[in-house]
């Protein structure tokens, strides 16, 4: 409860500061985006990514996109934007991953429905940024004010995670926990050595074909090597939520356990778990979701009082179980019984 009050105070402060900025006539859409080597502006509206942050309208030349296999983040909807410097394009590197030009910026705004005291039906909570500078990639987060008119930079290198309690708008007094990740959490998913660049949702196996004009050579869409619709759905789910860590390349924590589409069956069906930090079990037992380690780690390990040894998966970035994960993984494991 205390935390909520504090949080409201922070929002209120943000709102006041932001009104002052408006009165001082801060230039709309200043040109940070034209030279990303500059320090990040304090307000999202000054990044140049949006023509109007209040309506989430992207600036001209900034491309909205939607990856076919999105990450589930505790029920938040996300609006994604990609901006490249004029005259540049995305290429392909030696490892087969996409390579972005210096000056590329990717942004993801997280919105949720029905939060107390905020404008509109879909209210923004945070906007995450990935920026490619000459010296490498930088991560950043902007936290939206209570009125949803502006978002403020959560400052500094290595900022800590921020736990929020988001109040239900229907007056039930219910609150939902929500975590804005700290920088180390961003890196836990994005810097996993799957490929040279930390971008995940614009990837050879997971990209929006509408982005084709932004590539040097438009990449061919990839078909998943699935034996059934249930398997295709499971592969897609794991692509969006797991393979940034479980990618099978050498480096990274437990990266050796690959959940990439081509390796999925060989690495899971009737295969024992291998992590010493985790529980013993069989990763996928055909026909038996409850007896499968994957299902246990994703669904049951998040139950309060869960008695087993599995760490909830994914280990960072979500606050509760994705109902789709239970349905999609369960349906796939059941479908394997008939083979």
Determine the size of the site formed for ligand HEC (CB under 6 A).
48
- Cα separations (Å) of 64 from 60, 243, 250? 11, 23, 33
> Taking CB under 6 A as the criterion, which residues in 250-289 touch ligand HEC?
253-254, 257, 273-275, 277-278, 283
- Alpha-carbon distance of 328 to 316, in angstroms, equals 20
Contacts with ligand HEC, 17-56, as mask; x by CB under 6 A:
----------------------------------------
- Alpha-carbon distance of 299 to 151, in angstroms, equals 33
- When asked if residue 175 is in the footprint of ligand HEC (CB under 6 A), the reply is no
- Alpha-carbon distance of 9 to 18, in angstroms, equals 14
Count how many residues are written for the chain.
Answer: 339
- When asked if residue 139 is in the footprint of ligand HEC (CB under 6 A), the reply is yes
- Alpha-carbon distance of 4 to 248, in angstroms, equals 41
Q: Among all chains, which residue has been given the structure tokens 């999105």?
A: 70
Least distance in angstroms from the C-beta of 25 to ligand HEC: 30
Please identify which residue in 83, 200, 214, 260 interacts with ligand HEC, judged by CB under 6 A. Answer: 200
Q: Is the peptide bond before 314 cis (omega within 30 degrees of 0)?
A: yes
- When asked if residue 314 is in the footprint of ligand HEC (CB under 6 A), the reply is yes
> Taking CB under 6 A as the criterion, which residues in 100-129 touch ligand HEC?
106-108, 128-129
Do residues 151 and 108 touch, judged by C-beta distance below 8 A? Answer: no
Please identify which residue in 18, 36, 49, 71 interacts with ligand HEC, judged by CB under 6 A. Answer: 71
Reference 103, options 60, 133, 75; nearest CA is: 133
- Alpha-carbon distance of 232 to 234, in angstroms, equals 5
> Taking CB under 6 A as the criterion, which residues in 49-68 touch ligand HEC?
67
- Alpha-carbon distance of 243 to 245, in angstroms, equals 5
- When asked if residue 214 is in the footprint of ligand HEC (CB under 6 A), the reply is no
Reference 126, options 206, 174, 186; nearest CA is: 186
Reference 179, options 219, 126, 221, 240; nearest CA is: 126
- When asked if residue 141 is in the footprint of ligand HEC (CB under 6 A), the reply is yes
- When asked if residue 194 is in the footprint of ligand HEC (CB under 6 A), the reply is no
- When asked if residue 99 is in the footprint of ligand HEC (CB under 6 A), the reply is no
**Which segment (42-50, 54-62, 94-102, 194-202) binds ligand HEC by CB under 6 A?**
194-202
Give me the residue whose beta carbon is nearest to ligand HEC.
317
Do residues 182 and 155 touch, judged by C-beta distance below 8 A? Answer: no
**Which segment (51-59, 94-102, 144-152, 188-196) binds ligand HEC by CB under 6 A?**
188-196
> Taking CB under 6 A as the criterion, which residues in 145-174 touch ligand HEC?
none
Least distance in angstroms from the C-beta of 126 to ligand HEC: 8
Nearer residue to ligand HEC within complex by CB, 21 or 331: 331
Residues that bind ligand HEC (CB under 6 A): 67, 70-71, 78, 80, 106-108, 128-130, 139, 141, 181, 185-186, 188-190, 199-202, 240-242, 244-246, 253-254, 257, 273-275, 277-278, 283, 293-294, 297-298, 311, 313-317
């Amino acid at each position: 409860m205390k935390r909520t009050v504090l949080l409201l105070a922070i929002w209120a402060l943000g709102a006041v500061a932001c009104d002052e900025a408006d009165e001082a006539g801060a230039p709309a859409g200043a040109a940070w985006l034209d030279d990303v080597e500059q320090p990040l502006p304090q307000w999202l509206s000054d990044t140049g990514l949006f023509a109007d942050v209040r309506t989430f309208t992207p600036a001209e030349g900034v491309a909205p996109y939607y990856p076919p296999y999105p990450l589930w983040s505790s029920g938040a909807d996300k609006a994604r934007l990609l901006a490249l410097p004029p005259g540049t394009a995305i290429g392909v590197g030696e490892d087969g991953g996409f390579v972005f030009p210096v000056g590329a910026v990717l942004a993801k705004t997280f919105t949720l429905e029905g939060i107390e005291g905020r404008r509109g039906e879909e209210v923004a909570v945070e906007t995450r940024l990935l920026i490619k500078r000459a010296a490498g990639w930088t991560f950043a987060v902007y936290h939206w004010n209570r009125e949803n008119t502006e978002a403020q930079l959560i400052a500094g290198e290595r900022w800590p995670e921020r736990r929020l309690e988001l109040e239900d708008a229907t007056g039930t007094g219910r609150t939902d926990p929500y975590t804005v990740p700290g920088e180390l959490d961003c890196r836990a998913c994005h810097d996993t050595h799957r490929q040279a660049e930390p971008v995940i949702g614009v990837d050879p196996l997971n990209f929006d074909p509408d982005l084709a004009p932004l590539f040097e050579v438009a990449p061919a869409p990839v078909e998943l090597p699935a034996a059934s619709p249930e398997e295709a759905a499971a592969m897609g789910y794991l692509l969006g939520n797991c393979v940034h860590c479980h990618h099978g390349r050498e480096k990274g924590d437990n990266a050796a356990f690959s959940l990439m589409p081509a390796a999925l069956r060989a690495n899971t069906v009737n295969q024992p778990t291998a992590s010493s930090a985790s529980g013993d079990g069989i990763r996928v037992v055909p026909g038996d979701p409850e007896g499968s380690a994957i299902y246990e780690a994703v669904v049951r390990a998040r139950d309060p009082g869960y008695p087993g040894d599995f760490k909830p998966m994914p280990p960072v970035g979500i606050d509760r179980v994705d109902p789709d994960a239970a349905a999609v993984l369960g349906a796939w494991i059941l479908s394997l019984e008939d083979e």
